[in-house]
Chains A and B, each alone.
Chain A
Amino acid sequence: MNEGPARLEMPIDRLLAGIRTQMDLDGETEQEVMAEIRDHLEEAFAEAQARGLDDERAWAQAAARFGLGDEVGRALHQAHAGWGTADAVIAAALPVVCALVLRWLAFAPDGTALGWPQLLSRPAFWVVALVALLLPVLKFERWRCALAAWAFFWMLTVLFVALPAMRW
């Protein structure tokens, strides 16, 4: 988070709150958007001050040039909204596909579990493991998503191998 002048905090926070009310983004994206806009406003304020305006006028000018928080928030929401839906579909499909492929890999055609040595020696298993890690990184550009998918993948693997009697 940038460290802006204390006298600026309140008006900036008000404007950011106005933007935030129009958006429905995931926490990390929202935080990044807010940090970018805060940085913009702080620089606009500092430049207006450097031109000789007092704090009040400098802020008024920076805010006027920036535009209305509601309008900017709506535009930001629209800019991100479509991807949110696509991302949600992929995020939901990935664990399902993972589970299906894993089940196919971890069990022989007659339904018996392969066990760790056999499973870990299958190249296809490592391909799926790699996809479970890399796809979220490439698609969402978030390590958090990748680690969640990776953790889910290993949890399923342990379940399939450790509890074969469940006949997943």
Chain B
Amino acid sequence: MSIREQMRKGTTTVILLNLLAEAGRPMYGYEIIQELEARSQGYFQFKEGLIYPRLHELERQGLLRAEWHGKEGTRRRKFYTITEAGRRRREKELQGWQNFARHINELLGVESGS
């Protein structure tokens, strides 16, 4: 597995929470994936089907709230919104990520932001 893949897997939770926090509106699975790929400018290729188990885990942990929109017989979609618990988790994860990145950069002798 490439470093890129490993990093993506380890950070999917914070990436999803961050996206939904910044979006400030409910988003559905396909829309989330498209937005993530656009933001990473194609650097991260998400295996789309594997986003759903992660979304469901976050939902059951109370970090996301999901609601179905649309009536029976028409297109129905499950929209995800970040909860207050999700926002707190995002802050914690972002802080952890920044510390991690800083220490790795120091170990590798790479200047942050370069």
Interface, chain A (partner B; CB < 8 A): 1-3, 19, 32-33, 35-37, 39-40, 43-44, 65-69, 71-72, 75-76, 78-80, 83
Contacts and interface: CB of A to CB of B under 8 A. Distances in A.
27 contacts: A2-B76, A3-B75, A32-B78, A33-B52, A36-B29, A36-B78, A39-B28, A39-B76, A40-B30, A40-B49, A40-B52, A43-B30, A44-B30, A66-B48, A66-B49, A67-B47, A67-B48, A67-B49, A71-B49, A72-B49, A72-B50, A75-B49, A75-B50, A75-B52, A79-B53, A79-B56, A80-B60
B57 interface: yes
A36 B52 contact: yes
Main SS at interface, chain A = helix
Interface in B27-53: 28-30, 47-50, 52-53
- Interface size class on chain B is 20 to 34
A65 B48 contact: yes
Nearest to B60: A83
Contacts of A72: 49-50, 52-53
Interface of B: 28-30, 47-50, 52-54, 56-57, 60, 68, 73-78
Main SS at interface, chain B = helix
Q: Which 4 A-B pairs have the closest CB atoms?
A: A72-B49, A79-B53, A75-B53, A67-B49
Contact of B76 (A33, A35, A83): A35
Contacts of B73: 1, 3
A76 B30 contact: no
Contacts of B76: 1-2, 35, 39
Contacts of A37: 49, 52
A72 to B, nearest CB: 4
Nearest to A36: B78
A39 B49 contact: no
Contacts of A40: 29-30, 48-49, 52
B52 A76 contact: yes
A32 to B, nearest CB: 7
Nearest to B78: A36
